């Protein structure tokens, strides 16, 4: 008993300190379902896939992530080149394009990445987690690939049925232009950007964001207040038009270019029929250094994903308690590939990353709440026997089934009890049992039992495979 308790304890200690998790079969079944939905969407949009090593040269990753660079896992120096675990899939993708002199590709990549975060694992944040990226690289006309990335996010989130969501959109050039016309010195753009990001990412109230700008980042009160006026704005194409007329914003060439692109983007999003969920939001900053143009982030907005206020929680249903923030994000990064090219040749890129771990957390929670039975195997039929000494016959039959591509299972016992064979089917959701007995063998038939209804029919051995296929494809 002590060892057992101790074991659970060790498990908790290991996971909470290393910020990782094991996936049990049930979780894997849910995960596979999510992956299949996402991959089929990527394929529907014509993407290829690639893979890259789990570690990169340390210098490849250095200086690409702004203030987050401290979260990179460095491997121990064992002589030779210094290596780090990948922090995302975007920088390795850019390195791959430059190294192989690829100038256009539409690719997805699903793989694990590593961050020395202090994981709040309750919110679906880990130190080792999957990322799921889709990117379009190449010189194309403005905002067409960008709009398709948003369409993809819309399709995936709708199909996974996670509840209501919003996709916030902004542009790095609008932010930089806004900082400039509000009076932020050039060398503070990036660091102020990281501060603005907190408005959105950790829902830090404006007062606190302003305090950080003034006290830690050294902005004057009035500059901070000017920024405050803009970052509270959200809307659609109309807001972009209004800002193009704004006395301050219209002075920035950069901001105007970004605002015109936002207008163009919205015109394509209307054609893609996704504007119901997309909002132009000036507080969206996304702290990563490599973005150069459009940026976006999808957040869940319905009760199931946002914690209820404290007073509502007392009698609230369990459904209220999954709290997750952003479930997808991305943007345009036209300069990143050039950083890895000896000649500095640029390849424009736009992409999106689906926050797959957070989606898993929500799907798992939904499965628990609805108490839906998640099958962890796909066995269609159990080969069973009602009498003793039929092992050889069962092995003959299961071989026929396997060879025909039927998913089948047999008990690893010479003379199992029929009841225990049937119970196994109930427990693991196997829909059919093929029962052999002396009489059936004489008559050249198999008794096929439907587990759910307990109905039994004799099927001739020659028709068995077709019958199993017919009955399991209907389910």
Handedness of CA 359, 364, 370, 372 (dihedral sign): positive
Phi, psi of 357 (to 5 degrees): -60, -40
Cβ proximity of 196 and 66 under 8 Å: no
Q: Is 89 annotated as a binding residue?
A: yes
Q: How far apart are CA 423 and CA 416, in angstroms?
A: 12
To 10 degrees, what angle do helices 25-44 and 356-370 make?
130
The answer on whether 286 is annotated among ligand-binding residues is yes
Give the angle 233-239-245 at the CA atoms, nearest 5°.
110
Which residues 6+ apart lie within 8 Å of 443 measured at CB? 458
In angstroms, the CA 146 to CA 235 distance is 19
| Total count of residues recorded for the chain | 475
Residue 111's DSSP bridge partners are 131
3-class secondary structure for 280-349? EECCCCCCCCCCCCEEEEEEECCHHHCCCCHHHHCCCCHHHHCCCCEEEEEEECCCHHHHHCCCCCCCCE
Among residues 415, 402, 412, 455, the alpha carbon closest in space to that of 433 is found at 455
Q: Tell me: is residue 131 an annotated ligand-binding position.
A: yes
Q: Is 301 annotated as a binding residue?
A: no
Has 115 been labeled as part of a binding site?
Answer: yes
Task: Return all residues near 320 (Cβ < 8 A) that are at least 6 apart.
Answer: 303, 304, 307, 308, 312, 313
Is-contact 415 389, C-beta < 8 A? yes
Does the annotation list 268 as a binding residue?
no
* H or E element in which residue 437 lies: none
**How many CB atoms are closer than 10 A to CB 393?**
16
- Identify which of 14, 284, 8 has the alpha carbon closest to the alpha carbon of residue 172: 284
Encode 302-335: b = buried (16+ Cβ within 10 Å), e = exposed: ebbbbeeeeeeeeeeeebbbbbbbbbbbbbbbbb
Please report, in range form, the residues annotated as the binding site for L-histidine.
88-90, 115, 131, 135, 286, 290-291
Please report, in range form, the residues annotated as the binding site.
88-90, 115, 131, 135, 286, 290-291
């Amino acid at each position: 008993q002590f060892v057992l308790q101790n074991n659970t304890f060790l498990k908790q200690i290991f996971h909470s300190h290393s910020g990782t998790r094991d996936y049990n079969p049930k979780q894997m079944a849910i995960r596979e379902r999510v992956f299949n939905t996402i991959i089929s969407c990527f394929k529907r949009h014509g993407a290829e896939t690639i893979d890259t090593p789990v570690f990169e040269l340390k210098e490849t990753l250095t200086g690409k992530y702004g203030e987050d660079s401290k979260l990179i896992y460095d491997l121990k120096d064992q002589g030779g080149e210094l290596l780090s675990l990948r922090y995302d899939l975007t920088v390795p993708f850019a390195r791959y394009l430059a190294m192989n002199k690829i100038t256009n590709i539409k690719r997805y990549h699903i793989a694990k990445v590593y961050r020395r975060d202090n994981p709040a694992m309750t919110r679906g944040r880990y130190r080792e987690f999957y990322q799921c990226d889709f990117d379009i690289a190449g010189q194309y006309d403005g905002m067409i690939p960008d709009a398709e990335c948003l369409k993809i996010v819309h399709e995936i989130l709708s199909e996974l049925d996670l509840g209501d969501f919003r996709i916030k959109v902004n542009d790095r050039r609008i932010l930089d232009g806004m900082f400039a016309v509000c009076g932020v010195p050039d060398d503070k753009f990036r660091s102020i950007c990281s501060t603005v990001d907190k408005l959105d990412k950790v829902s830090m109230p404006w007062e606190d964001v302003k305090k950080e700008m003034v006290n830690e980042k050294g902005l004057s009160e009035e500059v901070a207040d000017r920024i405050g006026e803009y970052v509270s704005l959200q809307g659609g194409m109309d807001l972009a038009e209004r800002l193009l007329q704004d006395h301050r914003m219209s002075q920035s060439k950069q901001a105007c270019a970004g605002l015109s692109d936002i207008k163009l983007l919205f015109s394509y999003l209307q054609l893609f029929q996704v504007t119901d969920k997309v909002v132009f939001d000036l507080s969206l900053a996304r702290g990563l250094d490599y973005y150069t143009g459009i940026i976006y982030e999808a957040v869940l907005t319905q009760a199931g994903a946002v914690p209820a206020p404290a007073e509502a929680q007392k009698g609230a249903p369990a459904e209220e308690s999954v709290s997750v923030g952003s479930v997808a994000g991305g943007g345009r990064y036209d300069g990143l590939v050039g950083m890895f090219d000896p000649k500095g040749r640029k390849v424009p890129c736009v992409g999106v990353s689906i926050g797959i771990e957070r989606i898993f957390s929500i799907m798992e929670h939904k499965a628990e709440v609805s108490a839906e039975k998640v099958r962890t195997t796909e066995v269609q039929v159990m080969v069973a026997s009602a009498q003793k000494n039929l092992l050889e016959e069962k092995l003959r039959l299961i071989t026929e089934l396997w060879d025909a591509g039927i998913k089948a299972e047999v008990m690893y016992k010479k003379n199992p009890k029929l009841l225990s064979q049937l119970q196994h089917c109930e427990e693991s959701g196997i829909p059919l049992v093929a029962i052999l007995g002396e009489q059936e063998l004489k008559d050249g038939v198999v008794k096929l039992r439907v587990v759910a209804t307990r109905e039994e029919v004799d099927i001739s051995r020659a028709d068995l495979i077709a019958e199993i296929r017919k009955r399991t494809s209907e389910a």
